[in-house]
Structure 1
């Protein structure tokens, strides 16, 4: 199977996908209601889509093409409201968060769809452990070569995305000491991690042909990279975000991606290099483990600084581009929380310290997803 052509898209347009938790309203454990939710949601016209995910206690929502963070929020809001309405009819709840705090993976069931069954046969128990919840952000690129350049520039900011979105401190009832434990499950897959360092679509096509000849991959879907090209959309897709607890934060994160992309296209601030990846895995681990309290190693200079400081410095650099894209409010929201050292993982831990019951934490997270006051 040859690599499909990179389609045209409008540069800097956005698309957002959110994987969401379905909870019962008895003890707020995961509930196998994906099919019922999809049946009810099909009755409501929506700007994006609602589809099943790997196991039957999760669903994925997505926007159509958007041109700003506010448009992302404008599309996510009616989808969220329709989800909440459908969930109320089924006496269940919907929540964000990168992991469910106490679900047991062996109790999950694979959603009955050919690709999910195929993945389950290949990956065994890892497929059920893939009951984790992420946000994916697509950003439009001018052409295929520009997309690869954007991908490798964006890779320097993977720790930003992890720390700002982190919402998965708990796994199977335990505090993992990670802000984003979700990504540890992703790393178990053999085709996860970083994309190869190539800067032309011809070279990427040669890499793809070699991989397909091995029989290891059949399509781009088989790559679980942190960022991957999506030629059918004319985008790159950033995949390291935990699903936030609110759609407002999800939209703000998309606005940050768009601001970075605008900076890259307008100013060409640095040339990506293979050596950028010398510290990539370390930086990614730091962000997963410590969130906004992580250390960031600058790949160009080798200097160490607090990740929070690097995020705030970068937000200053992209501020004019954020304003031009209508993302000023998005960056202001993220900046305010970064200055406080606060993300969704911190909120979940604070609620657990107060409540001493993860079921109640899940109930409050579901309440928060509805857009209700904290």
Structure 2
């Protein structure tokens, strides 16, 4: 199968996908209600889409093509409100977060869709363990070569994205000591990790042809990379974010991606190199394990510094390039989050310390997703 032509798209446009938990309101365990939710959601006229995910206790929502973080928040808000309305009818709840805190993977059901059945047949129990929940952010690129350049520039900031979105400290009823345990499950798949270091689309096509000749890959969907090009959309897709507990946080993370992309296109602040990836896995691990308290190794200088310090410096760099509606407020939320060291993983741990019951933590997280937060409260403590 030949590599798709990279379609043109408007630079810096955004698209956001969120994978969400469906839980019962008895003990707040995952519940197989995807079909019922999809049936009810079809009655609502909404932007974007609502589709099933690999197991039947999950659902994925996505925006349309957005020009600003404000538009992302508005579209996600419309879909969120319809989800909550539908869930109330079914006496279930919708929850954010990168993992469900106490579900048992062997109890999950693979959703009845050919691609999901194929994945299950190939990957066995890993497919049920893939009941994890992420946010994907697409950003528009002017052309194919620019997309690859942006992909590899963006890779330096993967630890920022992980630490800011981390919301998966609990797995199978236990505190993992990771802020983002979700990404450990992704790494179990053989085609995960990072994209190959090529900066021209024709060179990427050569790589893709080699992979398809092996029979291991049939399409771009078979790559579970942290960032991958999406030629049919004219975007790159960043896939390392845990699903946040609120749509406000999701929109703020999209704002950060857009601001970085604008900085790259305007200033070309550095040229990525293969050697950038010498510290990639270490930085990625640090962010998963310690969140905003991680150490960051600068790929260019080799300097070790607090991730929080590197994040705040980067937010200062991108500030002159922020023009889209809602971006200033969204990035200020992230600055405050970095200053306080507060992400959703910390919120979940604090709730568990107080309640000593993960079902109650999940219930409170469902209320957090359900409520529209004012901009000033979107990332802080409540």
State the TM bucket, normalised to the shorter chain.
over 0.9
- Residue equivalent to 1:343: 343
| Partner Cα distance (2:69, 2:372) in 1 | 21
Equivalence for 1:220: 220
In structure 2, distance between residues paired with 1:325 and 1:279: 35
CA distance in 2, matches of 1:151, 1:325: 24
Query: CA contact under 8 A between 1:258 and 1:325: conserved in structure 2?
Result: no
Any idea what the Cα deviations from partners look like across 1:309-350, whole Å, max 9, x if unmatched?
000000000011124565111100111111000000000000
> Where does 1:53-68 land on structure 2 (aligned, <5 Å)?
53-68=53-68
Aligned residue for 1:304? 304
Give the whole-Å Cα distance in 2 for the aligned partners of 1:306 and 1:339. Answer: 12
Q: Which residue of 1 aligns with 2:110?
A: 110
Q: CA offsets per residue over residues 69-124 of structure 1, 9 Å max, x none?
A: 00000100010000000000000000000000000000000000000000000000
2:377 corresponds to = none
Asked if the contact 2:68–2:324 (Cα under 8 Å) also holds between the matched residues in 1, the reply is no
User: Aligned partners of 2:294 and 2:372: how far apart in 1?
Assistant: 31
Partner residue, 1:44: 44
Residues of 2 paired with 1:318 and 1:325: CA distance? 15
Question: Aligned residue for 2:170?
Answer: 170
CA contact (8 A) 1:23 1:31 kept: yes
CA–CA distance in 2 between the matches of 1:66 and 1:329?
A: 17
SS at match of 2:15: strand
Provide Cα deviations, 1:225-284, integer angstroms capped at 9, x if missing partner: 000000000000000000000000000000000000000000000000000000000000
Instruction: Write the distance in 2 (CA, Å) between the matches of 1:199 and 1:256.
Output: 23
Q: Which runs of 5+ in 1 are unaligned?
A: none
Trace 1:280-359 onto structure 2 (pairs within 5 A): 280-323=280-323, 326-359=326-359
What SS does structure 1 have at the residue aligned with 2:322? Answer: helix
Normalised by the size of structure 2, how large is the TM-score? 0.97
Report the equivalent of 1:278. 278
2:110 and 2:101 map into 1 onto residues whose CA distance is: 20
| d(CA) in 1 for partners of 2:103, 2:372 | 24
Give the superposed CA RMSD.
Answer: 0.8
Query: CA shift at 1:372, angstroms?
Result: 5.7
User: Following the alignment from structure 1 to structure 2, what is the Cα–Cα distance between the partners of residues 119 and 72?
Assistant: 31
Partners in 2 of 1:138 and 1:57 — Cα distance?
A: 25
The SS at the match of 1:10 is: coil
How far is the alpha carbon of 1:20 from its aligned partner?
A: 0.1
Distance 1:326 1:37 in 2: 30
How far apart in 1 are the matches of 2:55 and 2:323?
A: 40
Q: Match for residue 90 of structure 1?
A: 90
Q: Gaps (5+ residues) in structure 2?
A: 374-381
Q: Secondary structure at the residue paired with 1:3? A: coil
Cross-structure match for 1:145: 145
CA distance in 2, matches of 1:324, 1:185: 35
Contact 1:179 1:290 in 2 (8 A): yes
Other-structure match for 1:99: 99
Secondary structure in 2 aligned to 1:236? strand
Aligned length: 374
Residues 119 and 127 of structure 1 are in contact (CA less than 8 Å); yes or no, is this contact kept in structure 2? yes
Please say if 1:73 is aligned against 2:80: no
Q: For 2:260 and 2:269, how far apart are their aligned partners in 1?
A: 10
> Which residue of structure 2 lines up, in the alignment, with residue 132 of structure 1?
132
**What residue in structure 2 maps to residue 12 of structure 1?**
12
Whole-angstrom CA distance in 2 between matches of 1:322 and 1:303: 28
Distance in 2 (CA, whole Å) between partners of 1:347 and 1:143 is: 40
**Distance verdict in 2 for CA 1:253–1:326, change over 3 Å:** same
Inter-partner Cα distance in structure 2 for 1:37 and 1:298: 45
Q: 3-state SS of the aligned residue for 2:94?
A: strand
